[in-house]
Amino acid sequence: MKRIFLFSLIGLLAGPVFSQYTLTDTTVITASRLAEPVQKSGRSVSIITAKEIRELPVTSFDELLRFVTGVEVQGRNGFGAQGDILIRGGTFTQTLILVDGMRMNDPLTGHFNNYLPVSLAEIARVEVLRGPAAAIYGPDAVGGVVHVITHTHLENKAPAAKNSLRAEVAAGEHDLGMISVGGYQNIRNSLLSAGYQLNQSNGEPLPGDLRNDFTLHTASLGFRTNFSNKLSFSLRGGYDHRDFNAQYFYTRSPLDLSRENTSSGWGQAQLMAKSKIGVTHVNSAVKIFRDEFVFNPAFPGNEHTTRLYNLQVTHHKELSNLISLLGGVQGDYRTVQSNDRGDHADGHLGAFFQANYSPVKALGITAALRGDYDQNYGFEVLPQLNIGYHTGRFAFRAASGRSIRAADFTERYIAQNLGTPEAPLSGGRNLGNPDLEAERSWSHELGVDVDITSFLTVSATGFLRQGSNLIDFVFTPASEIPNNERLVDTAAYFFTQNFAQSTTSGLEFALRGSHSFGAYTSLQFQAGYLFVDVRDGDGNRLSPDAKYLASSARHLVNGQFMFRTKYASISINGLWKERNAEAAPDINAVLNGAYQVINVRLSGHTPNQRYTGFVQVVNVFDEQYVDILGAPMPGRWIMGGVRFGIFR
């Protein structure tokens, strides 16, 4: 009862300490490819700055997103080992991840989308855009977009400090060790940025002889040089390596003793040129991802290598103070080489046009249209319209758009090369379907933001998404699966299928604010509530047999509270969710219908924040819970550390 009371208090008075703005602010976002004030974008957006990332009681990118309004992260372990990012009841494959404007979604599986080859220390800000954006950013932007912007890319401007160096070291239970080092340096007209992050632990014991251990490395480097005020060039490279226990991450088979080892490399280049006819950006990127997965030491392991090549050209022209235009083309080519899924390749090309129109100061209208071709679904037309209007204490938002998503290589081909009539594939495993059609959906939303006071804002949004041919793994008897001669006749598998149609509706509320009590003392808070209802074509709640479409929380409350003084600060974040309960007797696993988790960080620092010591407790009340059936999340972990920073 005490836990429920404490969490309710946090939920009412707290929330992610993300950038606070009021309707009279001119906070500029990139919710469209054209930067614009947030109150005129017509979109629901959360912004997380570098300072807030350092102060939050989080240890990884996916943990950072767990406390954003409208966002649900389904973790398979803590500290960033793996987590699926869901926005407004969409699946993890319906969220688009961008790094400095370029697509990061992995062609193998959406489970790897948040494996960013960018250290937390190199992130200048994160923008979370809720709702569709396919007409602007292309396929997969169904539930929303997460845009990671690094120091060398942030609005093509130098950071506030000329030079910066930060280092953090922490240790905790279960041999937990964490290191984070990062900084940047301005050299004349150039900016160099670098970062490294390590999270590792022996993990907590699991049933049997396994532990949920992990070793996670991320290193990244960025460089930008301004040849003049009209020409700049930037480069970015990154490497991410992960080695972790993966038992029951993907299957419910009693034979599952999975372990996974992944590595990814990322390279990106941008040329920006200004002229009398506008601003042109040419971006190219390549991502190489390798995955080694061992389901059980008794069976041969699976090895996959994917490559993503991406090229994008945009041109922006300000016609007047009222009208901005942007046009561009974007293409990518995806390949996979796998002993499990086979060797495949496909390509994609899109051309888009966007116009921002502000006939009066208080009104912003954004219209976008994209023609999209993909080898999986042919040619599609994707329109989008956003309207934002603000007056006094009120800002009204409306958006409508069409989205599309093609099945990834895993959904189409997983286990297609495994099993024979003599040695059939064991039941309970995932099985791909090469005949899948692409998902298509229309999304609509209406919202309002109200400044209750100069430091307190309330937001409310209603949304509706109507989708067809949605893709999911459905628990299916072998007798109902085509070409089942290599399957166990009496077993069932998670076979990928298209749903004829579904409707996702919901409500989203947020309370956010900040207040200063002097030069050194401040309070920031935000609380979010999300209600999601997913129905099939007959108006019925989706069956739990749909592995991912039916897994999103029906009710989600998340929040965080931060109080700072001259020498100390405290931050508390927490969440409560209610979803479908599940059980898997074969692996003795239960997923409860609801759970709550609270994390706390206490910090002491010098006035200039050059030296900081902190103690952090993850899962204060030692809640035993899972997001994915069979994969337990961390219990109570206590850790402590020190941080050192130099800023000039």
| CB of 143 closer than 8 Å to CB of 89 | yes
- pLDDT, position 153: 85
> For 434-453, what is each residue's pLDDT tens digit?
999 999 999 999 999 999 99
CB contact at 8 A, 222 and 199: no
Confidence of residue 17 (pLDDT cuts 50, 70, 90): very low
pLDDT at residue number 495: 95
Q: Does an H or E element contain 13, and which?
A: helix 2-13
Residue 292 in contact with residue 246, Cβ under 8 Å?
Answer: no
With a cut of 70, say whether residue 10 has pLDDT above it: no
pLDDT at 160: 58
In this prediction, residues 215-227 reach a mean pLDDT of 96
Cα pseudo-dihedral 565, 569, 570, 571, rounded to 10: 110
Structure tokens at 114: 């948040």
- Residue from 464, 552, 562, 558 nearest 511 by CA: 558
pLDDT winner (highest mean) among 31-45, 232-246, 414-428: 232-246
What element of type H or E holds 9? helix 2-13
Q: pLDDT band at 35, cuts 50/70/90?
A: low
The predicted structure's pLDDT at residue 155: 53
Give the span between the Cα atoms of 241 and 263, in whole angstroms: 4
Tell me the H-state helices in 471-613.
none
Q: 580-584 long-range contacts, Cβ below 8 Å, gap at least 24?
A: 580/544, 580/550, 580/551, 580/554, 582/544, 582/629, 583/629, 584/252, 584/629, 584/630
pLDDT, residue 161, reads 63
Q: Which pLDDT score, from 0 to 100, does residue 588 have?
A: 92
Place of tokens 């080859």: 117
Q: What is the 3-state secondary structure (H, E, C) of 285-307?
A: EEEEEEEEEECCCCCCCEEEEEE
Question: What is the pLDDT at residue 614?
Answer: 96
Q: What percent of the chain has pLDDT over 90?
A: 74
Local confidence band at 542 (pLDDT 50, 70, 90 cut-offs) = confident
- Please check whether residue 235 is in contact with residue 225, taking contact to mean a CB–CB distance below 8 angstroms: no
pLDDT at 163: 85
The residues, any chain, with a CB within 8 Å of residue 150's CB and separated by 6 or more, are 99, 100, 118, 122, 123, 124, 193, 220, 222, 236
What pLDDT shows up at residue 89? 92
Q: How far apart are CA 600 and CA 343, in angstroms?
A: 47
Type of residue found at 79:
F
Amino acid found at 284: S
Cβ–Cβ < 8 Å for 311, 284:
yes
Taking the C-alpha atoms of residue 634 and residue 618, their distance in angstroms, rounded to an integer, is 8
**Residues counted in the chain:** 648
The owner of tokens 């807030």 is 52
**9 pLDDT above the threshold of 50:** no
How buried is 138 (Cβ within 10 angstroms: 0-12 exposed, 13-18 middle, 19+ buried)? buried
DSSP 8-state symbol, 342: -
Q: State pLDDT tens for residues 227-273.
A: 998 999 999 999 999 999 999 999 888 999 999 999 999 999 999 99
- Taking residue 454's Cβ as centre, other Cβ atoms within 10 Å add up to 11
DSSP type of residue 585:
G
Rounded-to-integer distance, Cα 471 and Cα 495, Å: 10
Q: What is the mean pLDDT of the chain?
A: 90
| Cβ pair 53, 123 in contact under 8 A | yes
25 has pLDDT over 60: no
pLDDT of the residue at 20: 42
Report in angstroms the alpha-carbon separations of 72 from 62, 144, 359, 575: 10, 12, 37, 10
Amino acid at 492: A
Chain segment 327-379, per-residue pLDDT in tens:
999 999 999 999 999 999 999 999 999 999 999 989 999 999 999 999 999 99
- For residue 162, the model assigns a pLDDT of 74
How much of the chain is helix, strand and coil, in % rounded to 5?
10, 60, 35
Q: Minimal CA–CA distance to 240: which of 99, 430, 414?
A: 99
Nearest to 396 by CA among 477, 462, 494, 312: 462
Over residues 142-195, the pLDDT tens digits come to 999 999 999 888 755 555 567 889 999 999 999 999 999 999 998 888 999 999
Closest among 618, 642, 625, 636 to 60, alpha carbons compared: 618
Per-residue buried b or exposed e for 386-412, using 16+ beta carbons within 10 Å of the residue's own CB: bbbbbeeeebbbbbbbbbbbbbbbbbb
pLDDT of 558 > 50? The answer is: yes
Q: Where are the alpha helices (DSSP H) in 354-464?
A: 409-413
Give the rounded percent of residues in the chain with a pLDDT score beyond 70: 93
Host H or E run for residue 500:
strand 492-516
The confidence band for 454, taking pLDDT boundaries of 50, 70 and 90, is: confident
Rounded CA gap, 613 and 569, in Å? 11
pLDDT by residue (tens digit) across 86-115?
Answer: 999 999 999 999 999 999 999 999 999 989
Sign of CA dihedral 106, 270, 48, 615: positive
Model confidence at 40, pLDDT cuts 50, 70, 90, reads confident
Six-digit token pair at 314?
Answer: 């945009």
**Main-chain dihedrals φ then ψ at residue 440, nearest 5 degrees:** -135, 140
Confidence (pLDDT) at 11: 41
pLDDT of 568: 95
DSSP secondary structure, 557-568, as one string: EEEEEEEE-SSE
AA identity, residue 594: A
Q: Find the mean pLDDT for residues 574-601.
A: 94
Q: Give the pLDDT score at 600.
A: 95
Query: Can you tell me whether residue 413 is helix, strand or coil?
Result: helix
Which band of pLDDT confidence, cut at 50, 70 and 90, is reported for residue 544?
confident
Confidence of residue 41 (pLDDT cuts 50, 70, 90): confident
